[in-house]
Structure 1
Amino acid sequence: MNWGYPGYITLSILLALLVLGGSVAMWLHRERVLALFVSKDRVQELTAAMPGWEYWTRTGLIMGAVILGCLALASPRWGYVLEKSNANSLDILIAVDTSRSMLADDLVPSRMKRTQLAIQELLKLGEGDRFGLIPFAGSAFLQCPLTVDQEALRQHVNLVNVDLIPEGGTHLGEAIDAAMEAFEGHEQDSHKVLVLFSDGEDHDENALAKVEEATQKGLRIFTIGAGTPDGELIPVNYCPNCESPNQPGRSRCRVCNAYLTPGQEFIRDENGNAVRSRLNESMLEELAETTGGFYLRLEGAQTMEVLYKNGLAPLPKSENTSTMVRRQRERYQWPLAGAVGLLLLELLWPMGRRCRPATATAVILALLLPCSLEAATLKQAAQQYQKGEFALALQEYEELLRHDPGNPKLHYNAGAAAYQAGKHNEAARHFRGALRTPDLKLQHRAFYNLGNTRFQLGEAMKNPEDQIPVWEEAADHFEAATQLNPQDPGAQRNLKFVRHKIDEAKRKLEQLSDEVPLDGITRFKQDDEKEYTLRVWPPNREQIPERPYWRMFALDHYAHGVAKVSDSIRAEAKALSPTGYGG
C-alpha cells in the first residue's frame, strides 16, 4: 500500500487536533459562550439538553470525518490491475550465450552468473520497455516473448543455464535468426534492438552474413563481452558412466541420470590439452558496429547503465497499443464514503437524544469497519503468529490473499505460518509465490525458507531413494540464497548440512550385498524400524550332491512395500549356472 499525496496525512492529524482543541475549549467555556447569544435561563436549558457523552460523541464523529476526508485526498492505493495502454516503449530482445565456455570463472562468480545479474540490472533501468529472452548455443529459441511483465522475465532469466540447449558450440547467427523471427509482424517504424551477451567464440562461419541480413531488416545489435582477453579454463564434471560433460555442482548426469562423483576437471581438446576460453572482442565489435550498435565489455558496476543511457535510451520509442500496464488501484472511495457517512450521522443526530454511550460507540465502529477490515485482518494475523497460533495466522493470511493473490509479502508470511504449523507442502507453495518479487532481499529469504521446507519434507520420508531428490531441491534453494546474499552464514551452513545428508542417503543405498556365502546370513536395513535377513543352505560345499538340482529365489531389494531380485544377483546367477542343471 502507498499514497499518492502523503502530505495530506499530516494535514489530517493537524486538523483533527484543531477540532479537538476547539471542542475542549467550547466544553470548558460553554456557558460563557452561550450567554453571549441567549439569556441565562436559556443557557441552563441548552446545557442540560446535551449531556457530556453526546457532546464528545459528536466531536468524535466530526474528527473522524475530517481524518477520513484528508486520507481520501491522500489517494491511498493498494492492489494491481492490468490495463491496455498506448504506451511508448522500446522493444528489446536479450540473447544469452549458454555454451559451456560461459562456465569459466574469469568473471566472478562465473560468466553465466555475472550475465544474469547484468540482465536483472538492465531490466530495472528499462522499466516500461518491453523485453524478450533468447538463449543460444548450437541453436537458439525464443524462451520469453516481448513483455512488460518484468517479474515473469526475471524468472526466465534465473532458469538460463549451460544445460538448457543440448547442441554445443556458440552460433551467433542462430541467435540473430531467432531475433529476426521474433520481430516479424512488428510495425515498420518500430526500432528493433538485440542486446547480445557472449564471449564471442563463434563457431558459425555464417555469422557475419546473418549480420548483414539483420542490418537490412533494421535490427540494431549491441554486444556485451562476457569474459577477459586472457581467458580461463572451463570447469566441468565428467560422468563416470557415459563420459558426458556436466556442469560442476550437479549431483546427477544430465544424459544418463547416473550419480556424479564430487570433483572438478577441465574441458580438453582432442590432444588432451586443457581448453582456455578467451573473449573475442574483435568479433563482437565488428558484429555490433555493422548494425549501428556498439560493444561493451562486462566489467565494473556501470556497464548496463552506460549501455542504456548511451545506446538504448536515445532511440525513439514506438507506440505499442497492445501493451498491458500494471497500475495500482485507487482506493480513495473507501475513506471518502466513511467521511460522508460520519458527517451525515452527526448532522442527523437528534439534539438531546438519551441513548446509551455503548450504543453510539457500536454505531461508530460499524461505520468504520469496512474501511479498516483489511488492516485489522493483517494485524490479527501478525498477532496470531506472535502468540504461536500458526494455523490461525495461516487462515488470516490466506483470507488476505483471496483479495490480493499476487502480493509476494503475503505469500511469504503465509509460508512462514504454514511452516511453523507443520504444513510443509502449503509452506512450499506460498514461498514459491513469494519469489515473484523484484525485492532481492525477499527473494533471498524465500529461497532460504523454501530450502528449509524441502529439507523437512525429505526428512519425513524413510526411503533414501525418495529423500535424495527432495534434498537436492533443498540444496538448490540454499545455493540460490547464498548467491543472492553471499554474507548469509545460515544459508551456507544449511547448504553444507543438506549436502552431508545427501551423501549419507547415497551410502545407505550402497549397503545391499550382491554376494552371499554358503550358510551365511546377510542382514541389511531399509529403514530404521525393520531389518531383513537372507540365509543360504547348504552350510558347506561337501554336502552338495554330485548332480544337484538348485532352486533359489532371493528377494534382495525392498522398496515401496515391494520385494524384488536385484540386477546384480540375476547377472551372477546367469554366469555361474552350469549347463543341464536346474537354476
Structure 2
Amino acid sequence: MLIVFLVAKNRKKKTITKIGEPLLVKQLLAQYRAASFFKKFIVLFVAMAALILALANPRSATGNNLVDRNGIDVMIAIDVSKSMLAQDIKPTRLDRAKQLLGKLIDKLGNDRIGIVVFAGKAYLQMPLTGDHAAAKMYLSAASTESIPTQGTVIGDALKMCYASFNTKEKKYKAVILISDGEDHDEGAISTAKQMGSEGVVIYTIGIGSKEGAPIIDEATGAMKKDAEGNTVISKLNEEELQSIAQSGNGAYQFFGSTDNVVNNLAHQLASMDQRAVKDESLTNYQSYFQVLLAIALLLLVIELFISETKRNKLSRLKPAAVSFLFMLAGTAAMAQENNKTIKEGNEAYGKKDYSRAASSYEKVVKKDSNNLVAQYNLGSAYYKSGRKDSAIEAYDRSIRQSEKPVQKSNAYYNKGVVLQNDKKLAECIEAYKAALRLTPNDDDARQNLQKALQQQKQQQQQQKQEQKKEDKKDEKPKPQPSKMTPRDAEEKLKALQQQEKNLQDKLHKVNANAPNKPEKDW
C-alpha cells in the first residue's frame, strides 16, 4: 500500500508539471487539498491493517482451563488407499479399521491422540489433542477420497507421525499403524528403525487376508482391473508389517477379533511409561475480530467522505451576470429610458425569450455604446440565441469598457464559455487564463480551464492518429528483391527435410522405449 501511495503521488507531480506555467498551475491547484489525499491514504492503510488483524483472529483465554493428564502421546496412522475397499473383511477393510480404532480411542483414557491418513501421500488429519470426541469425528471422516494419489507410502506416514511428536522427549510416544501393507515403500523399515532409536514404539495391525480379495470400485460398483484387463486381487503383506513393528520396538497383530486387538493394544500402551501432560485443547477463548471488522468498516465509510477537491461544474455562463445587470439597472445614474428598456430585456431573458431580450439590449447599445450593462447582457442573449460570433464581439466590447477587474474577469469567463462550446479551444484557454489573472480565486474559471486543457490534449492526440492514417494511405509498398539464390534455396530445403527426418527418428525411439506398464492406482 505504501508503494501504491508513492506511485500515485509521483504521478500527480508529473501531471502538474505537464500543465505549464507555474502561476497558472498555482491557480489551478488552489482548490486542491494535498492533505486530504494523505488523510485518505492513512485511513485506508489503518482499515486494511484492521482487516488483516481480524483475519488473524486475536483472542484471549477466558480463565485457566488447563487440564493435567497422566498419559502418553499416540499417533494413529490409517491406510485409506483403494486396496482398503477389499471385502475379505466385511463390510470392507477400511470400515472395520475405523471401527477398531474408534473402540481403541475409548480405552486410551488420558492419552493424547493424533491422526495421520495415507495412501500415495501422507497427511496430518488431526494434531495431538486430548479431545477424544474430536479424534473420533476426524476418524469417521477418513475415506479413500481423502487422498487423490493412490499407493501405500507407509514410510511417509511414519515420518508425519514422528514430526507430530515432541522431539525433545525420548519416550512416552507410540504409533499405531493399521494397513494391508500392500505395495509399501522400501524406506518404511529404515524409518521405523530411526524412530525406534528415538524412543517411539510402533505397533502395526495387519487387516485383510493372505488369499486376498478383489477391489470394488465405489463409483461404478465393478471390480478393479489392471492394464491387461485382469481382475486386481489385493493381498495382506504380513511380513512387511511385522518387520516395521520389530524395527520400531513394538508388536504386530493380525486383525481377527476387534475386541481382542483393542484389548491387546490398550494393555500394551498402558504398560508404557507415562508422564504428566498439561492439555490446552479444552481451553476456551474470547475472539476480538468483530471489533476490528467494525473499525475497518467505519474507516472505509469515513474515507468515502474525504474529498480532495470540490465537485467539478460544467461550463456555463456566470449567473452573476444577470444579477449584476439587475443591480446596475436600478441605479439612479442610468437614464430613465435606457433603464426601462434594459428591464424589459431582463424580463424577456428571464422568460427565455432571448431574441426579444437581445433586441432590447441592442436598442440601448445603439443609443449609448458605452453602456456596460447592455453590452454584457447582449453577449449573453446572443449566446443563448445561437449567435456565437456576435456574442464574442459583445463580450470583447464589454472587456474594453470595463474598469473593475471583477467585471472584466466575468466578461473573459463568459467569452471562454462561448469559445469552448464552439470547440475553439486555444482561444477559449486564453480567455480563461485572462479571467484567472484578474480574479485568481475564481473556481469556475479554474475548473473550466482544466477541462479545456484536457479537451485540447485529446484533440491533438486524435489529430495525430488521423495524420498517421493518412500517411499510411499515401505510402506505397516497395517490392523487396530476394537475396536468396536458387542454390541457397535448394540447400535450405534439404536442411529442413533432414531436420524433419531426425525428429521422426527421435519420436520412434521415444515410443519404442516408453513403458507399457502403468503405475498402480490402488
- The alignment's TM-score, normalised by the length of structure 2, stands at 0.41
- Greater relative CO, 1 or 2 (CA 8 Å, sep 6+): 2
- The alignment's TM-score, normalised by the length of structure 1, stands at 0.37
Which has a greater percent of strand?
Answer: 1
> Computing the radius of gyration over CA atoms, which structure comes out larger, 1 or 2?
2
